Amino acid sequence: MTTSPEPDQGTGPRAGFPPREALARAVRTALATRARPRTTSRSRRPAMSWLVWWLVAGVLGLIALPLNATLGAVYFGVHPVIAVLAGIAQSAALVLVLVRPREAVALQFLAVAVVSVAVPPGAGSTWPLTVPGLLTLLAQVGLVAARRSPRTALITWWASALLVPALVLLDPRGRSVADGLLIMVLYPVLSAVVLGAVLMTRRWRQVRQELADARRDVEVEQGQRTIAEERTRIARELHDVVAHGMSVIHMQATSASYRIENLSPEAEAEFVRIAAGARSAMREMRQLLSVLRAEDTGAGLTPVPDLSRLTELIASAEGAGVPVELREAGAARAAVLPEAVALAAYRIVQESLSNVIRHAPGARTVIALDREGGDLVLSVVNDRATRPVELMEAPGLTGHGLAGMRERVRLAGGSLEAGPRDEGGYRVTARLPIGGPR
Protein backbone atom coordinates (compact mmCIF):
# COMPACT_ATOMS: atom_id res chain seq x y z
CA MET A 1 0.00 0.00 0.00
CA THR A 2 1.46 3.33 -1.05
CA THR A 3 0.55 6.66 0.41
CA SER A 4 1.39 9.88 -1.41
CA PRO A 5 3.97 11.86 0.53
CA GLU A 6 2.76 14.79 2.49
CA PRO A 7 4.06 18.22 1.66
CA ASP A 8 7.61 18.77 2.85
CA GLN A 9 7.35 20.11 6.36
CA GLY A 10 10.72 21.85 6.22
CA THR A 11 10.65 23.74 2.95
CA GLY A 12 8.66 26.78 4.00
CA PRO A 13 9.27 29.36 6.71
CA ARG A 14 8.65 28.10 10.19
CA ALA A 15 7.09 30.03 13.01
CA GLY A 16 9.70 32.03 14.84
CA PHE A 17 12.46 31.35 12.27
CA PRO A 18 13.43 33.33 9.14
CA PRO A 19 13.35 31.63 5.73
CA ARG A 20 16.49 29.69 4.80
CA GLU A 21 17.27 32.08 1.93
CA ALA A 22 17.14 35.08 4.27
CA LEU A 23 19.27 33.27 6.82
CA ALA A 24 21.87 32.38 4.20
CA ARG A 25 21.94 35.98 2.95
CA ALA A 26 22.40 37.24 6.49
CA VAL A 27 25.30 34.87 7.08
CA ARG A 28 26.96 35.87 3.79
CA THR A 29 26.52 39.56 4.62
CA ALA A 30 28.05 39.08 8.05
CA LEU A 31 31.02 37.19 6.61
CA ALA A 32 31.53 39.81 3.90
CA THR A 33 31.40 42.58 6.48
CA ARG A 34 34.04 40.83 8.58
CA ALA A 35 36.22 40.37 5.49
CA ARG A 36 36.29 44.08 4.66
CA PRO A 37 39.45 45.84 5.75
CA ARG A 38 38.95 48.01 8.77
CA THR A 39 39.67 51.68 8.63
CA THR A 40 42.91 52.41 10.48
CA SER A 41 44.91 55.46 11.33
CA ARG A 42 46.72 55.05 8.00
CA SER A 43 43.76 56.68 6.26
CA ARG A 44 44.38 59.81 8.35
CA ARG A 45 48.14 59.90 7.81
CA PRO A 46 48.20 61.97 4.57
CA ALA A 47 46.29 64.86 6.16
CA MET A 48 48.47 64.77 9.28
CA SER A 49 51.62 64.58 7.15
CA TRP A 50 50.62 67.64 5.13
CA LEU A 51 49.89 69.58 8.30
CA VAL A 52 53.32 68.73 9.72
CA TRP A 53 55.11 69.77 6.55
CA TRP A 54 53.19 73.04 6.37
CA LEU A 55 54.31 73.74 9.93
CA VAL A 56 57.93 72.84 9.10
CA ALA A 57 58.00 75.00 5.97
CA GLY A 58 56.27 77.85 7.78
CA VAL A 59 58.76 77.80 10.68
CA LEU A 60 61.72 77.72 8.28
CA GLY A 61 60.23 80.65 6.36
CA LEU A 62 59.70 82.67 9.53
CA ILE A 63 63.27 82.00 10.63
CA ALA A 64 64.78 82.76 7.22
CA LEU A 65 62.95 86.07 6.70
CA PRO A 66 64.56 88.16 9.49
CA LEU A 67 67.93 86.51 9.00
CA ASN A 68 68.09 87.25 5.27
CA ALA A 69 66.68 90.77 5.65
CA THR A 70 68.70 91.84 8.69
CA LEU A 71 72.04 90.11 8.16
CA GLY A 72 72.01 90.83 4.44
CA ALA A 73 71.66 94.56 5.09
CA VAL A 74 73.88 94.84 8.18
CA TYR A 75 76.79 92.46 7.53
CA PHE A 76 76.84 92.08 3.75
CA GLY A 77 76.04 95.64 2.66
CA VAL A 78 72.89 94.81 0.69
CA HIS A 79 70.46 97.71 0.30
CA PRO A 80 67.77 97.32 3.01
CA VAL A 81 64.89 97.37 0.51
CA ILE A 82 66.55 94.72 -1.63
CA ALA A 83 67.42 92.68 1.46
CA VAL A 84 63.81 92.75 2.71
CA LEU A 85 62.28 91.91 -0.68
CA ALA A 86 64.81 89.12 -1.31
CA GLY A 87 64.21 87.78 2.20
CA ILE A 88 60.46 87.69 1.62
CA ALA A 89 60.96 85.92 -1.72
CA GLN A 90 63.31 83.34 -0.20
CA SER A 91 60.98 82.63 2.74
CA ALA A 92 57.95 82.41 0.46
CA ALA A 93 59.82 79.97 -1.77
CA LEU A 94 60.32 77.63 1.20
CA VAL A 95 56.55 77.43 1.75
CA LEU A 96 55.63 77.46 -1.94
CA VAL A 97 57.70 74.29 -2.56
CA LEU A 98 54.88 72.24 -0.98
CA VAL A 99 52.41 73.14 -3.73
CA ARG A 100 54.39 74.68 -6.61
CA PRO A 101 57.91 73.22 -6.57
CA ARG A 102 59.04 74.59 -9.94
CA GLU A 103 57.84 78.10 -9.20
CA ALA A 104 59.33 77.90 -5.71
CA VAL A 105 62.77 76.89 -7.01
CA ALA A 106 62.64 79.62 -9.68
CA LEU A 107 61.71 82.21 -7.06
CA GLN A 108 64.52 81.06 -4.76
CA PHE A 109 67.09 81.18 -7.55
CA LEU A 110 65.92 84.65 -8.58
CA ALA A 111 66.25 85.96 -5.02
CA VAL A 112 69.76 84.43 -4.72
CA ALA A 113 70.82 86.06 -8.01
CA VAL A 114 69.49 89.46 -6.91
CA VAL A 115 71.33 89.26 -3.59
CA SER A 116 74.58 88.14 -5.27
CA VAL A 117 74.50 91.22 -7.51
CA ALA A 118 73.47 93.51 -4.65
CA VAL A 119 76.38 92.45 -2.41
CA PRO A 120 79.16 95.07 -2.81
CA PRO A 121 82.60 93.81 -3.87
CA GLY A 122 84.68 92.79 -0.86
CA ALA A 123 81.65 92.80 1.48
CA GLY A 124 81.89 89.14 2.43
CA SER A 125 83.92 85.98 1.96
CA THR A 126 80.84 83.89 1.16
CA TRP A 127 79.97 85.70 -2.07
CA PRO A 128 77.94 85.05 -4.27
CA LEU A 129 75.82 83.92 -1.32
CA THR A 130 75.29 85.34 2.11
CA VAL A 131 75.43 83.02 5.11
CA PRO A 132 71.63 83.11 5.69
CA GLY A 133 71.15 82.85 1.92
CA LEU A 134 73.35 79.74 1.87
CA LEU A 135 71.34 78.14 4.68
CA THR A 136 68.06 79.05 2.99
CA LEU A 137 69.16 77.51 -0.31
CA LEU A 138 70.20 74.33 1.52
CA ALA A 139 66.78 74.24 3.21
CA GLN A 140 65.15 74.64 -0.23
CA VAL A 141 67.02 71.61 -1.61
CA GLY A 142 66.17 69.62 1.50
CA LEU A 143 62.44 70.40 1.27
CA VAL A 144 62.34 69.44 -2.41
CA ALA A 145 64.10 66.15 -1.61
CA ALA A 146 61.68 65.44 1.26
CA ARG A 147 58.42 66.24 -0.57
CA ARG A 148 59.09 65.50 -4.23
CA SER A 149 60.42 62.59 -6.25
CA PRO A 150 64.14 61.74 -6.15
CA ARG A 151 64.41 62.74 -9.79
CA THR A 152 63.02 66.21 -9.06
CA ALA A 153 65.36 66.53 -6.08
CA LEU A 154 68.40 65.64 -8.19
CA ILE A 155 67.42 68.12 -10.88
CA THR A 156 66.99 70.84 -8.26
CA TRP A 157 70.37 70.03 -6.73
CA TRP A 158 72.15 70.09 -10.09
CA ALA A 159 70.47 73.39 -10.97
CA SER A 160 71.50 74.98 -7.67
CA ALA A 161 75.05 73.61 -7.96
CA LEU A 162 75.35 75.16 -11.43
CA LEU A 163 73.75 78.40 -10.30
CA VAL A 164 76.64 79.34 -8.00
CA PRO A 165 79.43 79.19 -10.64
CA ALA A 166 77.11 80.87 -13.14
CA LEU A 167 76.64 83.82 -10.75
CA VAL A 168 80.40 84.04 -10.26
CA LEU A 169 81.23 83.90 -13.97
CA LEU A 170 78.45 86.30 -15.03
CA ASP A 171 78.88 88.82 -12.25
CA PRO A 172 78.15 92.31 -13.69
CA ARG A 173 80.44 93.98 -11.12
CA GLY A 174 83.53 92.29 -12.51
CA ARG A 175 84.58 90.27 -9.47
CA SER A 176 87.11 87.52 -10.04
CA VAL A 177 86.55 83.76 -9.75
CA ALA A 178 88.77 83.71 -6.67
CA ASP A 179 86.21 85.81 -4.80
CA GLY A 180 83.58 83.09 -5.17
CA LEU A 181 85.89 80.04 -5.05
CA LEU A 182 85.02 79.15 -1.44
CA ILE A 183 81.28 78.94 -2.06
CA MET A 184 81.80 77.23 -5.43
CA VAL A 185 83.45 74.37 -3.54
CA LEU A 186 81.57 74.54 -0.25
CA TYR A 187 77.99 74.74 -1.51
CA PRO A 188 78.01 71.59 -3.73
CA VAL A 189 79.48 69.58 -0.85
CA LEU A 190 77.02 70.85 1.76
CA SER A 191 74.01 70.56 -0.54
CA ALA A 192 75.04 67.01 -1.56
CA VAL A 193 75.23 66.04 2.12
CA VAL A 194 71.78 67.54 2.76
CA LEU A 195 70.33 65.87 -0.34
CA GLY A 196 71.80 62.46 0.51
CA ALA A 197 70.74 62.64 4.16
CA VAL A 198 67.15 63.56 3.29
CA LEU A 199 66.83 60.92 0.55
CA MET A 200 68.33 58.21 2.77
CA THR A 201 66.03 59.14 5.65
CA ARG A 202 63.05 59.17 3.34
CA ARG A 203 63.95 55.79 1.89
CA TRP A 204 64.54 54.35 5.37
CA ARG A 205 61.09 55.50 6.46
CA GLN A 206 59.54 54.04 3.30
CA VAL A 207 61.22 50.68 3.94
CA ARG A 208 60.01 50.68 7.52
CA GLN A 209 56.48 51.49 6.39
CA GLU A 210 56.59 48.80 3.70
CA LEU A 211 57.81 46.25 6.24
CA ALA A 212 55.09 47.27 8.69
CA ASP A 213 52.43 47.06 5.96
CA ALA A 214 53.76 43.70 4.79
CA ARG A 215 53.77 42.40 8.35
CA ARG A 216 50.22 43.64 8.85
CA ASP A 217 49.10 42.10 5.56
CA VAL A 218 50.67 38.77 6.52
CA GLU A 219 48.92 38.84 9.89
CA VAL A 220 45.59 39.64 8.24
CA GLU A 221 46.11 36.93 5.62
CA GLN A 222 47.07 34.37 8.24
CA GLY A 223 44.02 35.29 10.29
CA GLN A 224 41.73 34.99 7.27
CA ARG A 225 43.37 31.70 6.27
CA THR A 226 42.92 30.33 9.77
CA ILE A 227 39.25 31.28 9.71
CA ALA A 228 38.79 29.78 6.24
CA GLU A 229 40.56 26.56 7.23
CA GLU A 230 38.43 26.24 10.34
CA ARG A 231 35.26 26.85 8.33
CA THR A 232 36.34 24.23 5.81
CA ARG A 233 37.14 21.73 8.54
CA ILE A 234 33.77 22.32 10.21
CA ALA A 235 31.96 22.04 6.88
CA ARG A 236 33.75 18.82 5.98
CA GLU A 237 33.16 17.18 9.35
CA LEU A 238 29.54 18.33 9.33
CA HIS A 239 29.05 16.88 5.88
CA ASP A 240 30.80 13.60 6.65
CA VAL A 241 29.16 12.95 10.00
CA VAL A 242 25.69 14.47 9.80
CA ALA A 243 25.04 13.72 6.14
CA HIS A 244 25.73 10.04 6.62
CA GLY A 245 23.40 9.78 9.61
CA MET A 246 20.61 11.75 7.90
CA SER A 247 20.98 9.62 4.76
CA VAL A 248 20.54 6.46 6.81
CA ILE A 249 17.45 7.89 8.56
CA HIS A 250 15.95 8.97 5.25
CA MET A 251 16.58 5.65 3.55
CA GLN A 252 15.26 3.64 6.52
CA ALA A 253 12.10 5.74 6.53
CA THR A 254 11.52 5.54 2.77
CA SER A 255 12.28 1.79 2.60
CA ALA A 256 10.14 0.86 5.60
CA SER A 257 7.19 -0.09 3.40
CA TYR A 258 9.42 -2.53 1.46
CA ARG A 259 11.14 -4.07 4.50
CA ILE A 260 8.31 -4.29 7.02
CA GLU A 261 5.30 -6.47 6.27
CA ASN A 262 1.74 -5.49 7.15
CA LEU A 263 2.68 -1.88 7.86
CA SER A 264 -0.37 0.12 8.96
CA PRO A 265 -1.32 3.29 7.05
CA GLU A 266 -0.66 5.39 10.15
CA ALA A 267 2.85 3.98 10.54
CA GLU A 268 3.57 4.41 6.84
CA ALA A 269 2.42 8.06 7.02
CA GLU A 270 4.68 8.56 10.02
CA PHE A 271 7.65 7.17 8.10
CA VAL A 272 6.81 9.52 5.24
CA ARG A 273 6.91 12.45 7.65
CA ILE A 274 10.24 11.25 9.05
CA ALA A 275 11.68 11.07 5.53
CA ALA A 276 10.37 14.56 4.77
CA GLY A 277 11.96 15.90 7.95
CA ALA A 278 15.28 14.28 7.02
CA ARG A 279 15.13 15.85 3.55
CA SER A 280 14.38 19.25 5.07
CA ALA A 281 17.26 18.95 7.55
CA MET A 282 19.64 17.95 4.75
CA ARG A 283 18.60 20.91 2.60
CA GLU A 284 19.19 23.33 5.45
CA MET A 285 22.55 21.74 6.19
CA ARG A 286 23.52 22.12 2.52
CA GLN A 287 22.61 25.80 2.68
CA LEU A 288 24.92 26.16 5.67
CA LEU A 289 27.70 24.22 3.95
CA SER A 290 27.53 26.47 0.89
CA VAL A 291 28.21 29.44 3.18
CA LEU A 292 30.87 27.82 5.33
CA ARG A 293 32.90 25.91 2.79
CA ALA A 294 35.95 27.48 1.16
CA GLU A 295 37.10 25.26 -1.67
CA ASP A 296 40.65 26.68 -1.96
CA THR A 297 41.86 26.04 1.56
CA GLY A 298 43.19 23.02 3.34
CA ALA A 299 42.61 22.09 6.93
CA GLY A 300 44.36 19.97 9.47
CA LEU A 301 43.17 16.48 10.17
CA THR A 302 42.30 15.39 13.68
CA PRO A 303 42.66 11.79 14.84
CA VAL A 304 38.98 10.86 15.03
CA PRO A 305 37.47 7.69 13.49
CA ASP A 306 39.64 5.05 11.80
CA LEU A 307 39.10 1.75 10.00
CA SER A 308 38.35 -0.08 13.24
CA ARG A 309 34.87 1.46 13.07
CA LEU A 310 34.05 0.16 9.59
CA THR A 311 31.70 -2.41 11.09
CA GLU A 312 29.54 0.43 12.46
CA LEU A 313 29.32 2.03 9.02
CA ILE A 314 28.47 -1.29 7.41
CA ALA A 315 25.78 -1.99 10.01
CA SER A 316 24.17 1.43 9.49
CA ALA A 317 24.21 0.97 5.71
CA GLU A 318 22.68 -2.52 5.98
CA GLY A 319 20.05 -1.05 8.29
CA ALA A 320 19.15 1.28 5.43
CA GLY A 321 18.68 -1.68 3.09
CA VAL A 322 22.10 -1.70 1.39
CA PRO A 323 23.91 -5.08 1.49
CA VAL A 324 27.61 -4.49 2.11
CA GLU A 325 30.52 -6.93 1.87
CA LEU A 326 33.93 -6.14 3.39
CA ARG A 327 37.01 -7.71 1.79
CA GLU A 328 40.07 -6.93 3.86
CA ALA A 329 43.38 -8.50 2.89
CA GLY A 330 45.70 -9.74 5.61
CA ALA A 331 48.42 -7.25 4.58
CA ALA A 332 46.00 -4.37 4.96
CA ARG A 333 44.74 -5.66 8.31
CA ALA A 334 48.29 -5.93 9.66
CA ALA A 335 49.43 -2.54 8.38
CA VAL A 336 49.96 0.30 10.84
CA LEU A 337 48.17 3.29 9.34
CA PRO A 338 49.11 6.91 10.00
CA GLU A 339 46.31 8.88 11.64
CA ALA A 340 45.76 11.01 8.53
CA VAL A 341 45.48 7.94 6.30
CA ALA A 342 43.17 6.11 8.72
CA LEU A 343 40.82 9.07 8.99
CA ALA A 344 40.84 9.69 5.23
CA ALA A 345 40.07 6.03 4.51
CA TYR A 346 37.23 6.00 7.04
CA ARG A 347 35.68 9.19 5.60
CA ILE A 348 35.96 7.87 2.04
CA VAL A 349 34.08 4.71 2.99
CA GLN A 350 31.52 6.73 4.94
CA GLU A 351 30.87 9.15 2.07
CA SER A 352 30.75 6.34 -0.49
CA LEU A 353 28.17 4.41 1.53
CA SER A 354 26.16 7.62 2.00
CA ASN A 355 26.16 8.13 -1.77
CA VAL A 356 25.00 4.55 -2.31
CA ILE A 357 22.17 5.04 0.18
CA ARG A 358 21.12 8.30 -1.49
CA HIS A 359 21.61 7.48 -5.15
CA ALA A 360 21.53 3.67 -5.44
CA PRO A 361 19.25 2.32 -2.68
CA GLY A 362 19.46 -1.43 -2.24
CA ALA A 363 22.56 -1.78 -4.45
CA ARG A 364 25.05 -4.47 -3.46
CA THR A 365 28.29 -2.81 -2.35
CA VAL A 366 31.79 -4.24 -1.88
CA ILE A 367 34.45 -2.54 0.23
CA ALA A 368 37.97 -3.84 -0.52
CA LEU A 369 41.12 -3.05 1.45
CA ASP A 370 44.56 -4.21 0.31
CA ARG A 371 48.20 -3.18 0.52
CA GLU A 372 50.36 -2.69 -2.53
CA GLY A 373 53.94 -1.89 -1.60
CA GLY A 374 53.86 1.24 0.50
CA ASP A 375 50.24 2.14 -0.34
CA LEU A 376 46.89 1.27 1.13
CA VAL A 377 44.45 0.64 -1.73
CA LEU A 378 40.80 1.20 -0.84
CA SER A 379 37.91 0.65 -3.22
CA VAL A 380 34.16 0.94 -2.79
CA VAL A 381 32.15 -0.56 -5.66
CA ASN A 382 28.36 -0.73 -5.87
CA ASP A 383 25.94 -2.24 -8.39
CA ARG A 384 22.80 -0.72 -9.82
CA ALA A 385 20.01 0.45 -7.55
CA THR A 386 17.32 -2.11 -6.77
CA ARG A 387 14.70 0.46 -5.70
CA PRO A 388 13.52 3.78 -7.08
CA VAL A 389 15.72 6.71 -6.11
CA GLU A 390 14.15 9.51 -4.09
CA LEU A 391 16.65 12.32 -3.79
CA MET A 392 16.94 13.99 -0.41
CA GLU A 393 18.19 17.33 -1.79
CA ALA A 394 17.87 19.48 -4.85
CA PRO A 395 20.61 18.65 -7.39
CA GLY A 396 22.08 22.14 -7.23
CA LEU A 397 22.88 21.79 -3.53
CA THR A 398 24.98 18.62 -3.80
CA GLY A 399 28.59 18.12 -4.84
CA HIS A 400 30.61 18.58 -1.64
CA GLY A 401 31.04 14.84 -1.00
CA LEU A 402 33.39 14.01 -3.87
CA ALA A 403 35.27 17.29 -3.34
CA GLY A 404 35.70 16.41 0.33
CA MET A 405 37.04 12.95 -0.54
CA ARG A 406 39.55 14.40 -2.99
CA GLU A 407 40.59 16.98 -0.43
CA ARG A 408 41.20 14.35 2.25
CA VAL A 409 43.19 12.14 -0.11
CA ARG A 410 45.28 15.13 -1.24
CA LEU A 411 46.07 16.09 2.35
CA ALA A 412 47.14 12.49 3.03
CA GLY A 413 49.42 12.54 -0.04
CA GLY A 414 47.46 10.00 -2.09
CA SER A 415 45.30 9.83 -5.20
CA LEU A 416 41.62 9.19 -5.87
CA GLU A 417 39.70 7.88 -8.86
CA ALA A 418 35.91 7.94 -8.97
CA GLY A 419 33.38 7.34 -11.70
CA PRO A 420 30.52 5.21 -13.03
CA ARG A 421 31.08 1.60 -14.08
CA ASP A 422 30.32 0.34 -17.57
CA GLU A 423 28.11 -2.43 -16.20
CA GLY A 424 26.25 0.00 -13.96
CA GLY A 425 26.87 1.36 -10.52
CA TYR A 426 29.81 3.38 -9.29
CA ARG A 427 33.42 2.85 -8.25
CA VAL A 428 35.63 4.85 -5.86
CA THR A 429 39.30 3.87 -5.60
CA ALA A 430 41.79 5.61 -3.31
CA ARG A 431 45.53 4.97 -3.03
CA LEU A 432 46.96 6.28 0.25
CA PRO A 433 50.65 6.17 1.20
CA ILE A 434 51.36 4.36 4.48
CA GLY A 435 55.13 3.89 4.19
CA GLY A 436 57.15 0.73 3.83
CA PRO A 437 58.73 -0.88 0.75
CA ARG A 438 57.41 -0.07 -2.68
pLDDT digits (tens, 9 = 90+) for 326-358: 999 988 888 888 888 888 898 899 889 988 888
Range with lowest mean pLDDT among 3-7, 84-88, 392-396, 430-434: 3-7
**What's the confidence (pLDDT) of residue 433?**
92
Contact criterion met (CB below 8 Å) for 276 and 10: yes
More confident residue, 117 or 289: 117
**What's the confidence (pLDDT) of residue 370?**
93
Q: Which amino acid is at 311?
A: T
**What's the confidence (pLDDT) of residue 292?**
62
Bridge partners, 328 (sequence order): 369
More confident residue, 123 or 65: 65
**What's the confidence (pLDDT) of residue 324?**
93
Q: Which amino acid is at 100?
A: R
Half-sphere exposure of 343 (CA within 13 A, CB side): 19
The overall average pLDDT reported for the chain is: 79
Bridge pairing between strands 375-382 and 365-372: antiparallel
**CATH of segment(s) 238-389+396-433:** 3.30.565.10
Range with lowest mean pLDDT among 8-17, 158-167, 242-251: 8-17
pLDDT at 236 over 80: no
pLDDT digits (tens, 9 = 90+) for 241-296: 676 677 778 777 777 777 787 778 888 788 878 877 777 777 766 666 665 654 44
More confident residue, 417 or 41: 417
**What's the confidence (pLDDT) of residue 215?**
84
**What's the confidence (pLDDT) of residue 56?**
86
pLDDT at 118 over 80: yes
pTM of the model: 0.44
More confident residue, 7 or 238: 238
CA-to-CA separations, 36 to 219, 288, 395, 417, in angstroms, rounded:
15, 21, 32, 39
**What's the confidence (pLDDT) of residue 188?**
92
**What's the confidence (pLDDT) of residue 14?**
39
Helices 131-147 & 80-96 angle (0-180, nearest 10): 10
d(Cα 194, Cα 95) in Å, to the nearest integer?
18
Range with lowest mean pLDDT among 9-23, 217-231, 315-329, 338-352: 9-23
**What's the confidence (pLDDT) of residue 38?**
45
Range with lowest mean pLDDT among 133-137, 193-197, 315-319: 315-319
pLDDT digits (tens, 9 = 90+) for 71-80: 888 888 888 8
Element (DSSP H or E) covering residue 37: none
pLDDT at 198 over 60: yes
**What's the confidence (pLDDT) of residue 2?**
39
- In DSSP notation, 191-228 reads HHHHHHHHHHHHHHHHHHHHHHHHHHHHHHHHHHHHHH
Confidence of residue 11 (pLDDT cuts 50, 70, 90): very low
pLDDT at 190 over 90: yes
Give the domain ranges of the chain.
Answer: 46-175, 238-389+396-433
**What's the confidence (pLDDT) of residue 26?**
52
Residue length of the chain? 438
Element (DSSP H or E) covering residue 367: strand 365-372
More confident residue, 323 or 261: 323
Confidence of residue 417 (pLDDT cuts 50, 70, 90): very high
